[in-house]
Structure 1
Amino acid sequence: PDLRCGFCLQLPSITEEDELCYLQFLNTSCKKHTRPHSETMLGYIGLSFISLLTAFLNLLVIISISHFRQLYTPTNILLLSLAVADFIVGLLVIPLQIFLAEPCWFLDDLVCVLFYVLVFSIINVSIGNMVLISVDRYVAICDPLRYPTKITQKRVQIFVLLCWIYAVFYSFLLLYDNLKQPGRYNSCYGECVITYNGAVDIVLMFILPITAIIILYMRVFVVAVSQARAMRSHIAAVTLQRSVTVTAKKSEMKAARTLGVLVAVFLMCYCPSYCISLSGYDLIMGSSANTFINFLVYFNSCLNPVIYAFFYPWFRKSVKLIVTLEILQPNSCEANIL
C-alpha cells in the first residue's frame, strides 16, 4: 500500500514536468499553453498558405515593374517598394511567426527582439508607402499640370529610400531597451516578450498615417466631383464630348471604389492590433487570439498586390508574359504592356 501511494504522489510531478518548456529549469521554465491539435494544425496551414501566396503575388509585382521599361513610372516605383516590403513579409516574417505560434519560444532572446525589429520595420515601410502613394495620387488628380515636374522618378526614389531608412531607425529606437538587454522582460525561460511605448507607436504609425490618407483621399474625391460637375455644365451637343464625359465619370467611380477598398481593408487588418495595444491588454504568446490578430496584419500584405496592381490591365498582361516565360525572349523588356 505504501508503494502504491508513493507512486501516486509522483504522478503529478511527472505531468508538470511534461508541461514545461525547459525540463532542465524546473523553477524558472515557462509552462506550455496547450491547444487542441486541430486548432494548431489549422493555424499552421493558414499561416503557411498566406506566406506562400503573399510571396508569390508580390514577386509577380516585383518582376513586372522591374522588367518592363514601360512601367518605369513614379507611381509604379512606389508600388515596387510596397511589393518588396510585402514580399519580405511572406518570405521571412510569416514563417518566423510560426515559431511564435508555438507555446514556447526555443530560439535565442536576441533573435526574438530582432524578429520584432523586422516586423516593425516592414509594417512601417508598408504604411509609409501607402502615404506616399496617397500623396502621388493627390498631386496627379488635384494638380495634374505640374505633376510631371513635381513627381519625378528621382524624387520618388529619394522618398522611398528615406521611408525605408526611417522605418528601420524608428524600429531600432522603439525597441532600444529590448536590444540593449534581450530577454529582460521575460518572466520565465521560453517566452518572447518585448515592451515599447505603445501610445507613441499608435500615434506615429497608425493615427497620423490614417488621418493623412483619409484627408488626401477626401480632397481627391472633392476635386473629382467638382471636375465632373464642371464638365457636365459645359457639355455641348457633340457626341465626342458626351463620350469623354461618360468615360471620365466611369473612371472616377472606379478610382473611388479602389480607394474605398484600400482604406477599408487597411483599417480592417490593422485596427484590431492597434486597438488591443491601446487598451493595454497583453495577449499570451501562442494563444488563438494572438495568432488571429497577427494573421490579419500579415494578410494585408497579401491583399496589397490585389488592391494596387490586380486592378490594372497592365499587370494582368505582364503576369501572362511571365507565366508563359515570354519574358525570357530577347528584347522582352520593350514589350508593349500599356
Structure 2
Amino acid sequence: MSDSVPEPAPGAQHVPVLLDRVLELLAPALSGGPAVLVDCTLGLGGHSAALLAAHPELTLVGLDRDPQALELAGRRLAPYAERTHLVHARYDELTEVLEELDIPKVQGVLLDLGVSSLQLDAVDRGFAYSRDAALDMRMDPTTGQTAADVVNTYPPGELIRVLRDYGEERFAKRIVSAVLRRRERAPLRTSEELVELLYEAVPAASRRTGGHPAKRTFQALRIEVNGELESLEGVLPAAIDAVAVGGRLVVLAYHSLEDRLVKQAFAEQSRSRTPPGLPVELPGHGPRWRMLTRGAEGAGAEETAENPRAASVRMRAGERIAEAA
C-alpha cells in the first residue's frame, strides 16, 4: 500500500458502533462453514476486522466510495488479505460488484450508514461544522459536486427543499434568504463562513434549545452532495435479493430519514402475501424475512458515553426465511 494516505486523526479508530450486537446478530449466518459477508460501508474496517477474526472461513467483500477509507481499511485488514475483496464502489452498486466477483448469494450484509469516523475526523473534508475547512462533504472526493456547489448554485426553491427534506430544518426559508443575500456579495467557500451565516439566520431562542444551528443544514447538504437516500433506496432491494436463505441483513441508521426507508423495506419482506381472510397460508405467499430486532435498537448509556457518535443509532436486522416467489 502507498504511504501517501495519512492516518486518521486521533480517536478516529474508536470501537465501531454496536460492535458486540452486530457480531451476535450475524454469527448464526456466518458460523459452521464457508460464508460470504458484504460490508457495504467498510469505513475504517472495524466491524469487518472483528467479523473476520471471529469466523475463520469467512470471505469479506468490502465496499466504500471513499478511496482513503479503502486504503486505511486495507492496512487494518492486511492479516486477512487472502479472504478479502475490497472494492471502490458505492453501496448501491452491490449487485454489479457481486456479479463481477461471481458470487451469486451471500450469507450476510452489513450497512453502517451515514458519515464515517474517518470523514468526520479529517479536517479538510468539510463534514464537521466545528472545524473550518472547504465546503466539500463528498464521501468520494474524486467525483461529483461539492457542498459549495450546492449552496452557491442551487435555485432558492431547490435549496429550501434540500434543507427541509434532508435536514428537517424548520427555518429553511430564513436560511436560504440569508444564503441568497450572501451569494450576491461573494460565494460561500468554507464551513466557518456557513456556520457564521447560520448563527445569524437561526433565531436565538432556537439556538438555545434546538442544538447547534448548523447541525441540520450540514446533514442536509451532506445527504444531497452524496445522494445518500437515493443510494440507500437502491441498495436495500439489492441487499435483500443477495442474501441466501438463512442469511442475515443488519442495518445501522443514524437519522429518521434513513431508518424509515430501512423499516419499510423490512416490513415489505416480512408480511404475508396470502389474501386476507383465507384460513391457511398459500404456498409461496408467506413472509420471506423475519425480524431479529423488535423495532429499532439503540446503543446503551455506557457505549454512548464512550462513543457519542452512537447516540443516534437505530439498528434493524432480519433473516431470510424463504426464497422470493
Same fold (TM over 0.5): no
Q: Shorter-chain TM-score: what band?
A: under 0.3
Structure number with the bigger relative contact order (C-alpha 8 A, sep ≥ 6) is 1
TM-score, scaled relative to structure 2: 0.27
Of structures 1 and 2, the larger Rg is shown by 1
